[in-house]
Chain A
């Protein structure tokens, strides 16, 4: 009898041993899957950032052509700039000045640039005028003219000017164009390509930081000078509207719901409603903006005002939910102490509870603004994808936004040049978002330590 129980015990132990190793393999497998998931997730982050950085960083440098431009009086047949005479009225002087500027604008500045380019090229280089001008960006004539208008006394003198190389020339220098392609497939003619190589060797073409990316507005005719300034200002206006409207309204609403509202069906409904609003797709807010702000209220199309209002409504739930959570977290002792000292409910909330929640509200605001900054879809529906080549001075002027500019640039036909430019714009956008989030984290840790 005893032997059989011993046998079964031994067998059972054996069984358990066998099962145990199987279970331990299962355990290891499970852990392994967990590690794989983590590695995959981190890998995605790494690949995404590496890809955008690899594509975007080259676009932060750009080819500049260093030229000695001579304002040749023979090529520039222009009257001397009007000088203000004593007794001349404002209007008369302005009229004279405008007439002179119109005359300057009518001049063919390309001849001046062409002369400067030929001067920089080796003696007797055979290239026609259209080909040689394809090396500089088409807005170079405006740059040179601006130099002259600023200082008309330069007539007959020579100045050193840095001009942007054209998008094609920049691509050629950076090696983004296959050099083995035949002449018919090349955007630049053979002499122009040869001249660019010469310029690169003798230092006429140099790489410099692409300030144009940050200091210029968007441009279709001169892609190499297309920049983000207009979009940055548009986004700035919208963020201003979001902060000015969403924070007070959101905080006020959270205070009412958390501190004053009687617990009733209605407040329950509001609560469900706000949670749902937070999960409504952003494009639906765009439809709301198109129907209500643009079509009913007749707000200007493509203006930061309408965009800012749409983004405000989108950001509100984020701020309300975060503020309510913060208010919930305030210790009841604080409230009871305030009420016990004879403070009214309003005084208790505004003097004692709200200041404690300040760090959380600030963080929620910054995160909400960062979210709004990256939002694209609703802005497309209220016409912010229009081509705008101006910096919006007020929130009712036409403008575009940073993410929308990225959307517009990725669709540009000049793929070869704009892919890098788009990646650079993405880096600028990501830079802003990372800065905002870093500020949020920093402020929270600072303020919470003090509180």
Chain B
């Protein structure tokens, strides 16, 4: 409610500012016949900027300090003898009660003698501080507007100033992407370092047992956090996925690119790309309820024991998910191989498949390797399919027919719904995340570098 009032007032003020700036510059041009440097819109926009910035500054300061001030005032309303008898939770409950009274919702239970008055005081204080803030914001805004109005002369370079503001805004937008990376690295590294203060990094990176204990079961023993079982599971599933995706994806791309009729290509390509748009949770569910039981029954039929949730199940379905990724990247890359190479091979009498195998693919190899690496990085970071279909068994073993666990599964298991990152149980998620981030980052950097080099080679 309050936010809406503030936003509405701000909008009214800004509209007014624009109008005033616009008409003043207009008057200059029409009344005096002066040659004004900038068009009226820019004068209006400049007035808006001069009004908005001080007002927003006040709002930001208020948003930052007001919770603390409100808290301090509310606490000061509780009599000292009662205050000293309360512990932290009771204090929070008491403050909640007072706030409910202040906002007029009312509370259940008997009112303590001081509560009614305190509630009213707090309500009054909240209203007053809100009004003061509003007045300050509006006042400073109007002040800014007046200054802006006084600056408007024919020689004022309003357009240059507005454009400088716009370009600052655009730089700020670009900074968001950088800040995201910085945020990822900072949060992963700091929390992972905290984890390594509990667990020796050597035990983490080279440990062969994954058995995190939850703090409730034993206070002293934190459990074992060996990465290797998870790493092997991750690599095994990614390997199976690539075994499915690379032949199918690559052959599909070659066929669509070299053999298929235009009309076939126009229909088939989007249908394959549908696979890329399906949410991974859907693949996970499909793997869990359809592919897994099918593989188990199939294994029974041929006398092989296959678990319903296993590395094989997850890997197969993940492979399907990656097919469009491989096929569309390879398609792009095949398109970039110059036609002259192909024509040369045909001229020497090579058949189409010979041209593809001996000329096209070797020429496109770097690009295809890049696509392959990008797909591996996608497979390693994939979460929902493995959460549902890999079986969550963090044991070091090499049999793909049995349940395994992966890095991503363990992140989800260790962190769901936790907020206090105090023990190694939840902090390990960040160490795992850091490992994952570094692995995918290396793959991506190498892959993007290869693809870029490949493009430049033929440009």
Nearest 3 Cβ contacts at the A-B interface: A281-B381, A374-B279, A34-B255
- The answer to whether the Cβ of B415 comes within 8 Å of any Cβ in the partner chain is yes
Residue-wise interface mask of B (401-424) relative to A, using a CB-CB cutoff of 8 A (1 in contact, 0 not): 000000010011001111101000
Chain B residues with CB below 8 A from A346, complex form: 163, 166-167
Residue-wise interface mask of A (31-43) relative to B, using a CB-CB cutoff of 8 A (1 in contact, 0 not): 1011111101110
Cross-chain contact of A52 among B180, B286, B324 (Cβ < 8 A): B286
Knowing A38-B255, A279-B440, the reply to whether A27 touches B351 (Cβ < 8 A) is yes
Interface of chain A residues 276 through 301 with chain B (CB within 8 A): 276-277, 279-288, 290-292, 294-295, 301
CA distance A272 to B334 in the complex (A): 24
CA distance A261 to B445 in the complex (A): 23
- The answer to whether the Cβ of B113 comes within 8 Å of any Cβ in the partner chain is no
Knowing A256-B174, A377-B383, the reply to whether A281 touches B436 (Cβ < 8 A) is yes
Chain A residues with CB below 8 A from B247, complex form: 37
Chain B residues with CB below 8 A from A24, complex form: 351
Q: CB distance B180 to A313 under 8 Å?
A: yes
- The answer to whether the Cβ of A433 comes within 8 Å of any Cβ in the partner chain is yes
Interface of chain A residues 309 through 358 with chain B (CB within 8 A): 313, 316-317, 320, 344-346
CA distance A346 to B183 in the complex (A): 31
Q: CB distance B412 to A252 under 8 Å?
A: no
Q: CB distance B167 to A256 under 8 Å?
A: yes
Chain A residues with CB below 8 A from B187, complex form: 287-288, 291-292
Cross-chain contact of A33 among B251, B286, B324, B415 (Cβ < 8 A): B251
Binding-face segment, A110-118, A221-229, A380-388: A380-388
Centre residue among A38, A256, A292, A373 by max chain B CB count within 10 A = A38
Binding-face segment, A134-142, A174-182, A204-212, A403-411: A403-411
Q: CB distance B416 to A344 under 8 Å?
A: no
CB-nearest residue of chain A relative to B252? A37
CB-nearest residue of chain A relative to B264? A38
Interface of chain B residues 210 through 248 with chain A (CB within 8 A): 247-248
Residue-wise interface mask of A (257-272) relative to B, using a CB-CB cutoff of 8 A (1 in contact, 0 not): 1001100000000101
- The answer to whether the Cβ of B285 comes within 8 Å of any Cβ in the partner chain is yes
CA distance A60 to B50 in the complex (A): 57
- The answer to whether the Cβ of A23 comes within 8 Å of any Cβ in the partner chain is yes
* Number of inter-chain CB pairs below 8 Å: 258
Binding-face segment, B134-142, B144-152, B269-277: B269-277
- The answer to whether the Cβ of B256 comes within 8 Å of any Cβ in the partner chain is yes
Residues in A lying within 8 Å of B, measured CB to CB: 23-24, 26-27, 29-31, 33-38, 40-42, 44-45, 48, 51-52, 55, 248-253, 255-257, 260-261, 270, 272-277, 279-288, 290-292, 294-295, 301-302, 313, 316-317, 320, 344-346, 370-371, 373-377, 380-381, 383, 385-386, 403, 406-407, 410, 419, 422-423, 426, 429-430, 433, 437
Residue-wise interface mask of B (331-353) relative to A, using a CB-CB cutoff of 8 A (1 in contact, 0 not): 00000000000000000000111
- The answer to whether the Cβ of B197 comes within 8 Å of any Cβ in the partner chain is no
Cross-chain contact of A290 among B283, B354, B415 (Cβ < 8 A): B415
Chain B residues with CB below 8 A from A279, complex form: 374, 377-378, 440, 444
Residues in B lying within 8 Å of A, measured CB to CB: 159, 163, 166-167, 169-174, 176-178, 180-181, 183-184, 187-188, 190-191, 247-252, 254-256, 259-260, 268, 271-272, 274-275, 277-286, 288-290, 320, 323-324, 327, 351-354, 356-357, 374, 377-378, 380-384, 387-388, 408, 411-412, 415-419, 421, 429-430, 433, 436-437, 440-441, 444-445, 448
CA distance A437 to B284 in the complex (A): 22
Cross-chain contact of A41 among B166, B177, B272, B278 (Cβ < 8 A): B272
Knowing A41-B323, A260-B167, A376-B384, the reply to whether A249 touches B173 (Cβ < 8 A) is yes
CA distance A187 to B329 in the complex (A): 52
CB-nearest residue of chain B relative to A288? B184
Q: CB distance A280 to B440 under 8 Å?
A: yes
Write the nearest CB–CB distance from A324 to chain B, whole angstroms. 11
Q: CB distance A275 to B415 under 8 Å?
A: no
Write the nearest CB–CB distance from A275 to chain B, whole angstroms. 6
If A251-B173, A252-B174, A291-B187 are given as contacts, then 6 extra A-B residue pairs at C-beta distance below 8 Å, sorted by A number, are A42-B271, A276-B448, A281-B378, A281-B408, A374-B282, A386-B417
Q: CB distance A52 to B282 under 8 Å?
A: yes
Q: CB distance A291 to B191 under 8 Å?
A: yes
Write the nearest CB–CB distance from B389 to chain A, whole angstroms. 11
Cross-chain contact of A287 among B159, B327, B429, B448 (Cβ < 8 A): B429
Chain A residues with CB below 8 A from B171, complex form: 256
Q: CB distance A429 to B415 under 8 Å?
A: no
Q: List 20 A-B contacts (CB under 8 A).
A: A30-B357, A37-B249, A37-B251, A42-B271, A248-B173, A253-B177, A270-B177, A272-B448, A276-B448, A280-B381, A280-B444, A282-B381, A287-B433, A313-B180, A376-B383, A381-B416, A383-B419, A410-B284, A429-B282, A433-B278
Centre residue among A44, A55, A302, A386 by max chain B CB count within 10 A = A44
CA distance A45 to B166 in the complex (A): 46
Write the nearest CB–CB distance from B191 to chain A, whole angstroms. 6
CA distance A370 to B274 in the complex (A): 12
Knowing A31-B353, A370-B277, A407-B281, the reply to whether A377 touches B180 (Cβ < 8 A) is no
CA distance A193 to B248 in the complex (A): 50
CB-nearest residue of chain A relative to B268? A38
Chain B residues with CB below 8 A from A403, complex form: 279, 281
Interface secondary structure of A, over-half rule: helix
Q: CB distance B173 to A256 under 8 Å?
A: yes
Cross-chain contact of B380 among A23, A253, A272, A281 (Cβ < 8 A): A281
CB-nearest residue of chain B relative to A16? B349
Chain A residues with CB below 8 A from B272, complex form: 38, 41-42, 45
Write the nearest CB–CB distance from A46 to chain B, whole angstroms. 9
Q: CB distance A276 to B279 under 8 Å?
A: no
Cross-chain contact of B419 among A42, A301, A433 (Cβ < 8 A): A301
Knowing A34-B254, A41-B323, the reply to whether A316 touches B180 (Cβ < 8 A) is yes
CA distance A376 to B171 in the complex (A): 31
Chain A residues with CB below 8 A from B286, complex form: 48, 51-52
Q: CB distance B415 to A381 under 8 Å?
A: yes
Q: CB distance A291 to B351 under 8 Å?
A: no
Chain A residues with CB below 8 A from B357, complex form: 30
CA distance A281 to B251 in the complex (A): 27
Q: CB distance A344 to B256 under 8 Å?
A: no
Q: CB distance A288 to B408 under 8 Å?
A: no
Chain A residues with CB below 8 A from B352, complex form: 27, 30
CB-nearest residue of chain B relative to A384? B417
Chain A residues with CB below 8 A from B353, complex form: 26-27, 29-31
Cross-chain contact of A426 among B176, B178, B285 (Cβ < 8 A): B285
CA distance A320 to B255 in the complex (A): 32
CA distance A36 to B433 in the complex (A): 38
CB-nearest residue of chain A relative to B354? A23
